[in-house]
C-alpha cells in the first residue's frame, strides 16, 4: 500500500510553461488537498476537494487549478508558471472532510526560472 | 492574517532534554489542534492532536498542553532524542472542517548528542 504518491519528485520549469503535478491515493479517502510549503510561511492550502466531482479554493488559489474526476486522483495545474510559484508542493488526503487527520504525500519540489 | 503563530522558529536541545514548542491561535472557533512532524525530504505526518475538552494529552514522550483561556497550546518532547530532529508544525481547525486546517510556520528542532 503506497498511501499517497506524487509525481514528479522534482521539476525545473521555465516561466510561462504549463505544468501539472500529479497526486494519487490508494486509501479511498474522500477528501484531498494541495498545499505549498515555503520557508518561514509553513503550509498553505491551495485547493481542496471534499469528494470526487467537487473542488474548493484554499488560502492561496491564484495561478492554480485542480480537478477531481475520480476518488483517487487530484492533479494540480499551473497554467502559466511564474517564479513566485517556486515551492515544495504537498498533496494530502483525509477519510472525509469531517474527520480531521490528513495524510501527506512525499512532495514535489518545483523551481520556476 | 496569520491565525496560528508558532515559536520558536528553531530550537537546539541536548539529548535527554525537554523540547518545548509553543503556538497561539486567534480564532475562538478552533477546537482541533494537531501537531505534525516532518523529516527532511518527507511530507508532514500527524504526531499528536488535542481537543479543548482536556488540558493535556500525552502519547509516549510527546505531550500537548492546552490553555483555552490564553488561546495557546504547546508541544513538549520529553527525553529528546537525535531521532526527534525534525520540523514540527502546529495547526488548528474547527472540528469537521478538515479543509480549513491552518498551520503554524514551523519549528526546526535539532537534538544534539
The answer to whether A11 faces chain B, any CB pair under 8 Å, is no
Q: Are B78 and B99 within 8 A, CB to CB?
A: no
Is A97 in contact with B106 (Cβ distance < 8 A)?
A: no
Q: Which of the four pLDDT bands, split at 50, 70 and 90, describes residue B100?
A: confident
- Show residues of chain B in contact with A51, CB under 8 Å: none
**Residue B68 CA, distance from chain mean position:** 15
Q: What is the pLDDT of residues B11-22, one digit of tens each?
A: 999 999 999 999
In order, the DSSP letters of B24-76 are EE--TT--BEEEEEE-TTS--EEEEEE-TT-SEEEETTEEEEEETTTTEEEEE
Give the model's pLDDT for residue A6. 97
Q: Which of the four pLDDT bands, split at 50, 70 and 90, describes residue B59?
A: very high
Taking 70 as the threshold, does the pLDDT of residue B99 lie above it? Answer: no
Q: Is A110 helix (H, G, I), strand (E, B) or coil?
A: strand
Is A98 in contact with B46 (Cβ distance < 8 A)?
A: no
Give the model's pLDDT for residue A5. 96
Nearest CB among A4, A43, A96 relative to B103 is that of A43
Average pLDDT score, chain B: 93
Give the model's pLDDT for residue B1. 54
Nearest CB among B45, B49, B105 relative to A40 is that of B105
Give the model's pLDDT for residue A40. 84
d(C-alpha B104, C-alpha A17), whole Å: 31
Please list the helix, strand and coil fractions of chain A in percent, rounded to the nearest 5, in that order: 5, 50, 50
Q: How far is A81 from chain B (nearest CA, A)?
A: 23
Is A101 in contact with B34 (Cβ distance < 8 A)?
A: yes
Give the model's pLDDT for residue B110. 98
Q: What is the DSSP letter of A30?
A: S
Query: What pLDDT tens digit does each residue of chain A (113 aa) get?
Result: 579 999 999 999 999 999 999 999 999 999 999 999 998 889 999 999 999 999 999 999 999 999 999 999 999 999 999 999 999 999 999 988 776 789 999 999 999 99
Is A100 in contact with B42 (Cβ distance < 8 A)?
A: no
Is A97 in contact with B99 (Cβ distance < 8 A)?
A: yes
Contacts of B69 (CB under 8 A, 6+ apart): none
Q: Are A104 and A37 within 8 A, CB to CB?
A: no
Amino acid at each position: 500500500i503506497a498511501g499517497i504518491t506524487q509525481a514528479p519528485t522534482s521539476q525545473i520549469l521555465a516561466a510561462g510553461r504549463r505544468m501539472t503535478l500529479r497526486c494519487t491515493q490508494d486509501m479511498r479517502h474522500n477528501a484531498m488537498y494541495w498545499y505549498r510549503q515555503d520557508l518561514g510561511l509553513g503550509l498553505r492550502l491551495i485547493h481542496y476537494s471534499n469528494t470526487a466531482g467537487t473542488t474548493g479554493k484554499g488560502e492561496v488559489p491564484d495561478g492554480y487549478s485542480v480537478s477531481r474526476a475520480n476518488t483517487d486522483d487530484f492533479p494540480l495545474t499551473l497554467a502559466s508558471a511564474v517564479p513566485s510559484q517556486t515551492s515544495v508542493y504537498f498533496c494530502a488526503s483525509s477519510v472525509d472532510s469531517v474527520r480531521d487527520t490528513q495524510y501527506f504525500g512525499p512532495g514535489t519540489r518545483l523551481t520556476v526560472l | 492574517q496569520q491565525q496560528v503563530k508558532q515559536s520558536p522558529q528553531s530550537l537546539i536541545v541536548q539529548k535527554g532534554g525537554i523540547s518545548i514548542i509553543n503556538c497561539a491561535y486567534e480564532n475562538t472557533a478552533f477546537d482541533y489542534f494537531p501537531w505534525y512532524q516532518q523529516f527532511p525530504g518527507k511530507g508532514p505526518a500527524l504526531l499528536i492532536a488535542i481537543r479543548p475538552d482536556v488540558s493535556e494529552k500525552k502519547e509516549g514522550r510527546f505531550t500537548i498542553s492546552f490553555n483555552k483561556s490564553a488561546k495557546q497550546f504547546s508541544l513538549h518532547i520529553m527525553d529528546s532524542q537525535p531521532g526527534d530532529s525534525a520540523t514540527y508544525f502546529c495547526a488548528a481547525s474547527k472540528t469537521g472542517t478538515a479543509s480549513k486546517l491552518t498551520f503554524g510556520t514551523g519549528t526546526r528542532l535539532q537534538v544534539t548528542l
